[in-house]
A and B are shown apart, each in its own frame.
Chain A
Amino acid sequence: MFDWKWDFTIEILPRLILATFNTLMAAGVGYGIALIVGLIFALAQRTPIRIINWSVREAVEFIRSTPLVLQIFFVFYVGPQFDLRLSPWTAGMIAIGLHYASYLSEVYRAGLESVPQGQWEACRALNLSTRRTYFRIIIPQALPPALPGMGNYLVGIFKDTPMLSVIGVAELMHTANALGSESYRFLEPYTMVGIIFLAISLPTAFGLRTFETWVSKTLGMSKSKK
């Protein structure tokens, strides 16, 4: 019943490891996009222009409450209708980047809102520029409460990259599917994919927690020195 074949496992391992790099790249690029666009989403909700606030807020809500896999299909197939051909990689990165950007914007927002109002008022009283207010006062205080959420979504985006296989991005899941249909053996490819995911996501989650305590300690110390 349990016919695990070690020689087959070793045979497919190089291809799976190669695909792991693609998965990591997809997660990295997607997260990079999400970090930047998420910040834009978060700041756009703080502008005094009502129509921008409202439309960004609704867009974020919409993206957050619909399935990522459907968004990936949407981005990939809607382009050609407007004579805009996106490669699977481009479409995938846009979809996953925007999806996580809307999650991260909520994390940023919560972080910014956790800074007491008095800090803003003190900055104004001291006549600090907007730039200095953000970089020296607000962000150092908003960052520690935002870090756990940001870390969770880093692991989250990594675990969602298999969805990119549906439009043919050659990441881990896609490779495992291909290996499975070439050899009619699904046990080893799918199990190995699971193990590779665990082997990356568990240490990452642990590393992120260590990093969080380090950051809040470092920032905390710099505050007490002043």
Chain B
Amino acid sequence: MTYAEFLNEHGARLIDGSIITVQQTILAALLAIAIALVMGLMRLSSNYVVRSSATVYIEIFRGTSLLVQLYWIFFVLPLFGITLEKFTAGFIAVGMNLGAYGAEVVRGAIQSVPKGQYEAALALNMSPFSRMRRIIFPQALILMLPPWGNLFIELLKATALVSLISVTDLMFQAKQINGTTYLSIEAFGSALVIYYIMSRLVITPGMRWLERALSRHMSRA
């Protein structure tokens, strides 16, 4: 069986799987960004309770495996009365996990904005909220974009694990094709190449573009 025949027969399934993977990645990324912003800012709070609850969240999600968290959310949460659809459980687990890593990125970026910027905003009598929104955060955003690029690649790779709770993503389809045809190189190899294309030819250039666009916008303002 040539590779062209293989693609002809199973290409549609690989595409279906890729679409699910893209959906999982986008939803998980949105969740991760939201969690990272909230937890990152909470880590910088002056209130002890707020600060330490963010630390506990971050340490729990960074200290255990994503697979453990995924299984916990999918198999154990129903015992507490929270039953999630496998698709939902998948992107929530991935988003919550990467959100914990992102929170540290957000915290680090905000802390590396020079102290003088805080003082100047304070001297101009800005409220804490507008100080963060108009002065500190835009500068932190530029600093945090490159690490976020790496995180998004990690996130895309992490979505492969949702196949283990039978979300029909790219990984799942590759496994199914392998199971029915035993063409392991073609099945898993094609999936590897598709993941590679998504991260190297979509996410990386996309983030570069975003970095350039943002720094252009910032230097004009």
A and B assemble together: yes
A197 adjacent to B184 (CB under 8 Å): no
Which of A161, A194, A202 has the largest number of chain B CB atoms within 10 A?
Answer: A194
A77 adjacent to B184 (CB under 8 Å): yes
CB-CB contacts of B86-98 with A at 8 A, as 1s and 0s?
Answer: 0000000000000
Pick from B182, B183, B184, B195: contact of A65, CB under 8 Å: B195
Bound Cα distance from A3 to B79, whole angstroms: 9
Near B by CB (< 8 A), chain A positions 192-215 give 193-194, 197-198, 201-202, 205
* B114 on interface, CB distance cutoff 8 Å: no
* B174 on interface, CB distance cutoff 8 Å: yes
* A162 on interface, CB distance cutoff 8 Å: yes
Interface residues on A, range: 35 or more
CB-CB contacts of A170-210 with B at 8 A, as 1s and 0s?
Answer: 00010011001000001100110110011001100100000
Near B by CB (< 8 A), chain A positions 48-72 give 61-62, 64-71
B184 adjacent to A78 (CB under 8 Å): yes
Question: Which B residues touch A61, using CB under 8 A?
Answer: 200
Q: Interface size (B, Cβ < 8 Å)?
A: 41
* A109 on interface, CB distance cutoff 8 Å: no
Evaluate whether A70 and B64 lie within 8 angstroms (CB atoms) in the complex, with A65-B196, A163-B161, A187-B76 already known: no
Question: Which A residues touch B178, using CB under 8 A?
Answer: 73, 77
CB-CB contacts of B176-200 with A at 8 A, as 1s and 0s?
Answer: 0010001111001101100110011
A70 adjacent to B192 (CB under 8 Å): yes
* B145 on interface, CB distance cutoff 8 Å: no
Bound Cα distance from A112 to B156, whole angstroms: 29
CB-CB contacts of A24-60 with B at 8 A, as 1s and 0s?
Answer: 0000000000000000000000000000000000000
Question: Which B residues touch A162, using CB under 8 A?
Answer: 65, 67-68
* B13 on interface, CB distance cutoff 8 Å: no
CB distance from A204 to the nearest CB of B (A): 10
Question: Which A residues touch B81, using CB under 8 A?
Answer: 1
In the complex, the chain B residue whose C-beta lies closest to that of A69 is B160
A70 adjacent to B75 (CB under 8 Å): no
In the complex, the chain B residue whose C-beta lies closest to that of A67 is B160
Question: Which B residues touch A163, using CB under 8 A?
Answer: 67, 161
The secondary structure that dominates the B interface is: helix
Bound Cα distance from A222 to B71, whole angstroms: 49
Bound Cα distance from A194 to B68, whole angstroms: 6
Question: Which B residues touch A197, using CB under 8 A?
Answer: 63-65, 68
Pick from A3, A68, A81, A165: contact of B157, CB under 8 Å: A68
Question: Which B residues touch A77, using CB under 8 A?
Answer: 178, 184, 188
A74 adjacent to B188 (CB under 8 Å): yes
A186 adjacent to B76 (CB under 8 Å): yes
* A18 on interface, CB distance cutoff 8 Å: no
In the complex, the chain B residue whose C-beta lies closest to that of A74 is B188
B189 adjacent to A66 (CB under 8 Å): no
Which of A64, A70, A81, A191 has the largest number of chain B CB atoms within 10 A?
Answer: A70
Known: A70-B174, A73-B178, A160-B65. 9 other contacts (CB 8 A): A3-B79, A65-B200, A67-B160, A69-B161, A78-B185, A81-B185, A173-B67, A191-B72, A198-B63
A to B CB contacts below 8 Å, 29 in the list:
A1-B81, A64-B153, A65-B195, A66-B199, A67-B160, A67-B161, A67-B171, A67-B195, A69-B163, A70-B191, A70-B195, A71-B192, A77-B188, A78-B185, A81-B182, A159-B64, A162-B65, A162-B68, A176-B71, A186-B75, A186-B76, A187-B76, A190-B71, A190-B75, A193-B64, A194-B68, A194-B72, A198-B64, A202-B59
Question: Which residues of A approach B to under 8 Å, CB–CB?
Answer: 1-3, 61-62, 64-71, 73-74, 77-78, 80-81, 159-163, 165-166, 173, 176-177, 180, 186-187, 190-191, 193-194, 197-198, 201-202, 205
| Nearest 3 A/B pairs, CB to CB | A67-B160, A77-B184, A65-B199
